[in-house]
């Protein structure tokens, strides 16, 4: 089956298939800021994805710091939302490694740690933001949009 479209006054025939539909949806989402999520709690990862998916393209979700570094270097997202306490490489060390290679990437820590020592360390490694998990629903999306200077 073919669809006829007129683009800039020229007739274009497109073969209609599931592949075209998928790529069209992907190209629409490509305009959204790309984000990688990191948390060892898979339920939390899914909740963050659901929270952000209307304003961001979630291009990766990883369960630990080493996987975060690898995903970030491969996917080059505009934003990373990371937990601090993860197995192997923690969020702070992962952020250091990522920001050494991708200094324009915005890293936001989403954590249960509210202590000043954690906030101070986040600033030292170059984090753009810090959100407590219990406030994520109200604060995370707004912070990310603000960091990227986007109005919802």
Give percent of the chain above pLDDT 70: 79
Kindly report, residue by residue over 10-45, the tens digit of the pLDDT: 444 444 333 333 334 444 544 899 999 999 999 999
Q: What is the pLDDT of residues 50-61, one digit of tens each?
A: 999 999 999 999
Indicate the pLDDT class of residue 119, thresholds 50, 70 and 90. Answer: very high
Q: How far is CA 150 from the centre of its chain?
A: 15
Determine what percent of the chain is predicted with pLDDT higher than 90: 75
User: 3-12, 46-55, 136-145 — which is least confidently predicted?
Assistant: 3-12
**Which range (13-22, 64-73, 80-89, 137-146) has the least confidence?**
13-22
Give yes or no for residue 151 having a pLDDT over 70. no
Mean per-residue pLDDT for 64-74? 97
Q: Which fold has domain 32-147?
A: Rossmann fold (3.40.50)
Residue range(s) occupied by CATH 3.40.50.2300 in the chain: 32-147
Longest distance between any two alpha carbons in the chain, whole Å: 62
């Amino acid at each position: 089956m073919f669809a006829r479209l007129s683009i800039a006054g020229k007739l274009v025939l497109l073969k209609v298939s599931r592949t075209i539909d998928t790529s069209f949806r992907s190209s629409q989402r490509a305009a959204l800021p790309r984000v990688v999520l990191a948390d060892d709690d898979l339920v939390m990862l899914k909740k963050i994805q659901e929270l952000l998916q209307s304003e961001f393209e979630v291009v990766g979700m990883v369960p630990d710091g080493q996987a975060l570094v690898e995903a970030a270097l491969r996917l080059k997202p505009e934003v990373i939302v990371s937990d601090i306490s993860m197995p192997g490489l923690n969020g702070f060390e992962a952020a250091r490694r990522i920001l050494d290679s991708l200094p324009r990437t915005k890293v936001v820590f989403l954590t249960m740690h509210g202590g000043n020592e954690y906030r101070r360390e986040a600033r030292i490694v170059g984090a753009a933001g810090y959100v407590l998990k219990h406030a994520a629903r109200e604060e995370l999306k707004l912070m990310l949009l603000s960091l990227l200077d986007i109005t919802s």
